[in-house]
């Protein structure tokens, strides 16, 4: 596996890294910034409707990160990629969105059910809180399997391969220590970005802007770890 220090440094050793890294950071923040600015001049519903199509930009970002992940999976040299292959990034980002939707559907339903119970009063409130906690734990559980699911999708090119849980678990067990370490590191990164997002006015946009770099580093590291363990479904 690529040493952590080299993984942290590889984006800055790539050719034209300021343009490649900067464009990804701007794309990551652009939809949120647009929504925020629109919300200042029109109501929340209209700003949501107008900025919703900009969410497609995230398909590009996810697709780009997926190619970095696949580079680690295939043991290619660690380098940033150009943005000229945007069609492939867009298609892979859409596939990842479908995988994320499949992974997140059950946790979302549990959380939504819990939120609905909060307003019914009395003991329903505590039931709702319990369901919300269960939903969050479910998010963590499915998130734990997601990187290996990406590896299976990358290896066999089928979305359904990302949902074959027995194969995913067999692969994870082979590199359990490295995999769990990276997963915990990912949670720490999310926590740090959450703290940035709490900064008044600019925090949310800034957190999305800063998220692109750790996304690439973690994608590369997870790709290399999963390369040691990926099995067929």
Q: Is residue 61 part of a domain?
A: yes
Q: Is residue 112 part of a domain?
A: no
Give the HSE-up count for residue 115: Cα atoms under 13 Å, Cβ half-sphere: 8
Q: Is residue 198 part of a domain?
A: yes
Residues 6+ apart with CB under 8 A from 104: 139, 142
Q: Is residue 113 part of a domain?
A: no
Query: Residue 211: what pLDDT?
Result: 96
Q: Is residue 149 part of a domain?
A: yes
Rounded-to-integer distance, Cα 157 and Cα 232, Å = 11
Q: For residues 98, 100, 102 and 108, what is the CA-based torsion angle, rounded to 10 degrees?
A: -130
Length, in residues, of the chain:
233
Q: Is residue 131 part of a domain?
A: no
Domain range for 153 is 4-100+143-227
Q: Is residue 14 part of a domain?
A: yes
Rounded-to-integer distance, Cα 149 and Cα 95, Å = 12
Query: Residue 51: what pLDDT?
Result: 63
b vs e for 77-114, b when ≥16 Cβ sit within 10 Å of the residue's Cβ?
ebbbbeeeeeeebbebbebbbebbeebbeebeebbeeb
Query: Residue 124: what pLDDT?
Result: 82
Rounded-to-integer distance, Cα 80 and Cα 24, Å = 11
pLDDT in tens, the chain (233 residues): 667 888 899 999 999 999 999 999 999 998 888 777 766 666 666 666 666 677 789 999 999 999 999 999 998 988 999 999 999 999 999 999 999 999 999 999 999 998 888 877 777 888 889 999 999 999 999 999 999 999 999 999 999 999 999 999 999 999 999 999 999 999 999 999 999 999 988 999 999 999 999 999 999 999 999 999 854 44
Q: Is residue 197 part of a domain?
A: yes
Domain count, the chain: 1
């Amino acid at each position: 596996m690529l040493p952590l220090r080299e993984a942290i440094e590889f984006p800055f050793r790539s050719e034209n890294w300021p343009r490649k890294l900067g464009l990804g950071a701007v794309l990551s923040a652009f939809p949120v910034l647009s929504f925020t600015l629109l919300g200042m001049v029109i109501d929340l519903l209209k700003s949501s409707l107008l900025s919703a199509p900009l969410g497609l930009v995230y398909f590009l970002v996810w697709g780009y990160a997926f190619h970095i992940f696949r580079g680690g999976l295939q043991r290619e040299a660690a380098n940033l990629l150009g943005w000229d292959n945007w069609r492939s990034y867009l298609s892979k980002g859409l596939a990842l969105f479908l995988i994320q939707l499949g992974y997140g559907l059950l946790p979302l339903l549990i959380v939504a059910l819990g939120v609905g119970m909060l307003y019914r009063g009395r003991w329903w409130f505590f039931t709702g809180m319990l369901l919300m906690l269960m939903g969050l734990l479910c998010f963590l559980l499915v998130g734990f399997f997601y990187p290996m699911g990406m590896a299976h999708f990358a290896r066999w090119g089928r979305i359904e391969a990302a949902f074959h849980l027995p194969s995913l678990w067999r692969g994870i067990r082979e590199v359990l220590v490295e995999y769990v370490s990276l997963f915990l590191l990912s949670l720490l990164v999310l926590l740090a970005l959450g703290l940035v997002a709490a900064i008044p006015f600019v925090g949310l946009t800034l957190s999305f802007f800063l998220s692109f770099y750790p996304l690439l580093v973690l994608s590369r590291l997870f790709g290399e770890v999963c390369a040691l363990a990926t099995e067929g479904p």
